[in-house]
């Protein structure tokens, strides 16, 4: 078995913004501390939820650097460094490593896409040139390309490729990946609503959006499952299903930032082209927060 980055729940952290759309670095550091004190097991910085796509390169690196400093070694910091440009990703990994990141999250190449052979070449090229472990990220609804189980099998032979975040929604594919890769590739759920199902297939946790507002819930869901308290874990999953659906009723991270602002967590707006939710969707989100006891 390869070195494991974390077990349990990691938050795909939002990047807080000021009202003018600039990064609120002061709020970022307090947000990291709040998450850790809330019981989260790891933090993913500058992923999809962190609006990586609209961060300038210098902002991207500074968000990672400031998050590492704020975490102060208490939990692993996983930096989103994936790109559809292989060489760019290597450069970003180097700067993220210099900033203190413990691991990398690498989304499959998007827009220009590639073949399965291209995925193998892309990820191996990067893995040969970095010194930190890599979590692959399979989210075909955003990238237009899916990492197939047989491709995972080939990639899992690289010592630096240690895990995947699975957000393809296909549990049969997850089962096949676990069957083929065994202990050579850890699997994290990339969808909050599939946390328990994926752990039942051998997954070791979740990279979560919900944990931005409920870190203890997601930590406890995983902890109860691993302790064998399956009913308690399932209860937490089902209790929060309506809220999870509301958090994905618009493009992530629009709803979760809206929810955080409703809860007084002061993370500001999303950057364009992400646009505020419709009023009806906001009202539904508010109601689900109330139902889950997160908002009076």
Helix (H, G, I), strand (E, B) or coil at 135: strand
Helix (H, G, I), strand (E, B) or coil at 64: helix
Q: Is 165 annotated as catalytic?
A: yes
In this prediction, residue 265 carries a pLDDT of 96
Q: Is 235 annotated as catalytic?
A: no
Q: What is the CATH number of domain 8-229?
A: 3.20.20.70
**pLDDT of residue 3 exceeding 90:** no
**pLDDT of residue 1 exceeding 90:** no
Position 162 confidence tier, pLDDT thresholds 50, 70, 90:
very high
Picking from 258, 257, 253, the residue whose alpha carbon sits closest to that of residue 280 is: 258
Whether the Cβ atoms of residue 161 and residue 120 lie closer than 8 Å to each other: no
> Residue 169 is inside which H or E element, if any?
none
Q: Whole-angstrom Cα distance, residue 49 to residue 208?
A: 9
- Residue range 261-282: average pLDDT? 97
Q: What is the pLDDT of residues 106-152, one digit of tens each?
A: 999 999 999 999 999 999 999 999 999 999 999 999 999 999 999 99
Sign of the C-alpha dihedral, residues 92, 93, 98, 103? positive
Q: What is the pLDDT of residues 42-66, one digit of tens each?
A: 999 999 999 999 999 999 999 999 9
Q: Which tokens is 84 given?
A: 């559809």
* CB neighbours of residue 195 within 10 Å: 28
* CB neighbours of residue 218 within 10 Å: 31
**pLDDT of residue 2 exceeding 80:** no
Q: Whole-angstrom Cα distance, residue 94 to residue 257?
A: 29
> Residue 269 is inside which H or E element, if any?
none
Question: Which residue among the candidates 52, 123, 137, 288 is catalytic per the annotation?
Answer: 137
What percentage of the chain has pLDDT greater than the value 90? Answer: 98
Picking from 35, 39, 2, the residue whose alpha carbon sits closest to that of residue 16 is: 35
Q: Which residue has the tokens 């929060």?
A: 240
Mean pLDDT estimate for the chain: 97
Question: Which residue among the candidates 52, 165, 257, 282 is catalytic per the annotation?
Answer: 165
Picking from 45, 51, 170, 38, the residue whose alpha carbon sits closest to that of residue 95 is: 45
In this prediction, residue 296 carries a pLDDT of 87
Q: What is the pLDDT of residues 132-142, one digit of tens each?
A: 999 999 999 99
Position 277 confidence tier, pLDDT thresholds 50, 70, 90:
very high
In this prediction, residue 279 carries a pLDDT of 96
- Where are the domains positioned within the chain? 8-229
Whether the Cβ atoms of residue 23 and residue 63 lie closer than 8 Å to each other: yes
**pLDDT of residue 180 exceeding 70:** yes
Q: What is the pLDDT of residues 230-268, one digit of tens each?
A: 999 999 999 999 999 999 999 999 999 999 999 999 999
Q: What is the pLDDT of residues 181-233, one digit of tens each?
A: 999 999 999 999 999 999 999 999 999 999 999 999 999 999 999 999 999 99
Q: Which residue has the tokens 């930590």?
A: 219
């Amino acid at each position: 078995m390869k070195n494991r980055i974390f077990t349990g729940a990691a938050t795909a952290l939002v990047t807080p913004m000021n009202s003018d759309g600039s990064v609120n670095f002061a709020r970022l550091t307090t947000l990291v501390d709040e998450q850790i004190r809330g019981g989260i097991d790891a933090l993913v910085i500058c992923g999809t939820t962190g609006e990586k796509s609209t961060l300038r390169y210098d902002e991207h690196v500074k968000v990672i650097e400031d998050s590492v400093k704020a975490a102060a070694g208490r939990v692993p910091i996983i930096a989103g460094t994936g790109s559809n440009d292989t060489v760019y990703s290597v450069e970003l990994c180097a700067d993220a490593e210099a900033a203190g990141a413990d691991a990398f999250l690498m989304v499959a190449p998007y827009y220009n896409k590639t073949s399965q052979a291209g995925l193998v070449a892309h990820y191996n090229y990067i893995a040969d040139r970095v010194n930190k472990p890599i979590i692959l990220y399979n989210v075909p609804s955003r990238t237009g390309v899916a990492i197939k189980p047989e491709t995972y099998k080939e990639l899992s032979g690289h010592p630096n490729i240690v895990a995947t975040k699975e957000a393809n929604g296909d549990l049969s594919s997850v089962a096949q990946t676990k069957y083929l890769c065994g202990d050579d590739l850890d699997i994290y759920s990339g969808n909050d609503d599939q946390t328990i199902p994926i752990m039942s297939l051998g997954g070791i946790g979740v990279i979560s959006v919900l944990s931005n507002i409920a870190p203890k819930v997601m930590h406890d869901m995983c902890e109860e499952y691993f302790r064998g308290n399956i009913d308690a874990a399932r209860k937490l999953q089902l209790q929060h299903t309506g809220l999870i659906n509301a958090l994905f009723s618009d493009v992530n991270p629009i709803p979760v930032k809206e929810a955080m602002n409703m809860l007084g967590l002061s993370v500001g707006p999303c950057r364009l082209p992400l646009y505020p939710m419709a009023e009806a969707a906001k009202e539904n989100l508010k109601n689900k927060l109330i139902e889950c006891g997160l908002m009076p």
